Amino acid sequence: MKQFASLVNILGTSTKTNDKLAALQDYFAAAPAKDKIWVIAIFSGRRPKRIVNSTLLQNWCTAITGLSQWLFEECYHTVGDLGETIALLLPEPSGEDLAGEQQSLSWYLETFIRLEKEDEAIKKEFVINCWQHLDRTEKFVFNKLITGGFRIGVSQKMMVNALSKTVKVSPSVIAHRISGNWDPVTTIFESLLSETGTSSDYSKPYPFYLAYALEDAPENLGDINEWQAEWKWDGIRGQVIKRNDELFVWSRGEELLTDKFPEYNAFKALLPAGLVIDGEIISLALPAETGVFKPLPFSALQTRIGRKNITKKQLLEAPVGFIAYDLLEYSGKDIRTMPLVERRLLLENIIQTIQHSSIHISPLIRVNDWDALKQTRLSSRDMGSEGIMLKRKNSVYQVGRKRGDWWKWKIDPLTIDAVLIYAQKGHGRRSNLYTDYTFAVRDGDKLVSFTKAYSGLTDKEFAQVDAFVKRNSLEKFGPVRTVKPELVFEIAFEGIAASKRHKSGVALRFPRMSRWRQDKKPDEINTLDDLKELLETYHQNGSGNL
């Protein structure tokens, strides 16, 4: 654990990419093989399940320290992180305790797994015993792991690059090897990362190729005939895999979704063997009279996400389909290095052959010049899309986010002006600043809250708003402060949906602060009627036929 805690400390405090990369390389070069496997698992999203809830950890900590509950909560609100708060409050172990036997990272994590179904008393004994033998940095890491909320400032791409330099295997091979459905308890480090080793995991997806946002004028990309244009659909990026007479559906977040969408069951019999298709999991309306698919808003797909049991009503109201973008494997062969236009021809033939209402190829946008494409992009919302994707026709399918060949040209977000009414302190480096805000619109003489946002401002602007909140707080509800409704912000968002869970009756998709409207007064903000009108307009035009 000491090695891993030291690594986490460097990754969490360093601001330089090269320092983080070097720390990862040093760790992978020196750590025990079982610990290295677990670090790969943790940094690729395979964290162990939470075995103790936050309330129990708080109670055990206050019992040891003698702090009252209210004082613990004040400390928690100041620090902004439960694991760090407990690590700071607990006494440091004696020199004798620290000098005792040091356990490995894998020992702790595999003990978590063994204790998952044990009684509370056994878990309590284990946790308190660990607290007594770990130093402050180790306790912080231990707490983060045991709550299942471990996140650190390192991307999977950085970890892949560090592994590549350590084991001398190309990053693309490593990215593929660590994807899919593998168990860190039983997996051997050398076999996982071997370039020549074989894997019996037929479900393994390929690393996704991601586009950069287009910020320059599209004509700067050169001849439009060298580019493939298609709609950018609003769903969940995924891969459909048919291997060994089995079907697998993976999300970009490496969640296996095969059983969650029964509409995909038909693909098993229809798709040829040795096939991997990249595309979008999306909710589609399928009008019987036309047979043409129509994208539904993302909110329709949300009603299906996370549900274990799907009712007939849900299948009818939010049917799920797949819009195919690209072909990555054909007849069992990796074809990612084949030019896009050739992969596309193979994909078109497959989709045309199976003719199934739940899978469609993403239609191309055919125009002769950039001006025509700019005009077409304006109709994105009418098509139920977020904008346009531009892909170089001769591009290969790369790993991760790369500049040059794939660009996303999104439409401008929806916006509404609102006033700040509640504020809460942030987390991590923002734990001492009020950076998490709740906003309201007008409804007659009242203010109605409708969304939260915590991104979009500069550090200087956050500091200014924080100072305002501290000077103008009206009431305190735990960590939340009610503030004078004086600061107006333009809130940008990608979509809007009706919601019974919110006072306003609406929920926004990806809300953030796009501008601090210091030129506007609170009585100039938008109204609840404006929101409802926007909701009606969005859902009238948000889904168009293709």
Q: What residues are labeled active site? A: 232
DSSP states along 438-464: EEEEEETTEEEEEEEE--SS-HHHHHH
- CA distance linking residue 192 with residue 175, whole number of Å: 11
Degrees to nearest 5, angle at CA 467 with 461 and 469: 105
Helix (H/G/I), strand (E/B), else coil: 355: coil
**Both tokens of residue 248?**
């697998």
Spatial contact of 286 and 319, defined as CB atoms under 8 Å apart: yes
What sign results for the dihedral spanned by CA atoms 295, 300, 305, 307?
negative
- CA distance linking residue 230 with residue 220, whole number of Å: 18
Alpha-carbon Rg of the chain, whole angstroms?
26
Helix (H/G/I), strand (E/B), else coil: 382: helix
Residue type, 420: L
Report the candidate in 454, 541, 545 with the shortest Cα–Cα distance to residue 496.
Answer: 541
- CA distance linking residue 450 with residue 437, whole number of Å: 11
Spatial contact of 35 and 106, defined as CB atoms under 8 Å apart: yes
- CA distance linking residue 344 with residue 397, whole number of Å: 12
Spatial contact of 210 and 401, defined as CB atoms under 8 Å apart: yes
Cβ burial, residue 57 (10 Å; 0-12/13-18/19+): buried
Report the candidate in 475, 479, 422 with the shortest Cα–Cα distance to residue 448.
Answer: 422
Spatial contact of 46 and 179, defined as CB atoms under 8 Å apart: no
Report the candidate in 79, 82, 81, 77 with the shortest Cα–Cα distance to residue 58.
Answer: 82
Q: Where are the alpha helices (DSSP H) in 14-52?
A: 17-30, 33-43
Q: What is the DSSP-derived secondary structure letter of residue 383?
A: G
Report the candidate in 157, 151, 152 with the shortest Cα–Cα distance to residue 174.
Answer: 157
Query: Which stretches does DSSP call E strand in 109-252?
Result: 209-210, 212-213, 227-233, 236-243, 246-251
Q: What is the DSSP-derived secondary structure letter of residue 179?
A: S
- CA distance linking residue 531 with residue 539, whole number of Å: 12
Report the candidate in 502, 455, 513 with the shortest Cα–Cα distance to residue 299.
Answer: 502
DSSP run (H or E) holding 280 = strand 275-285
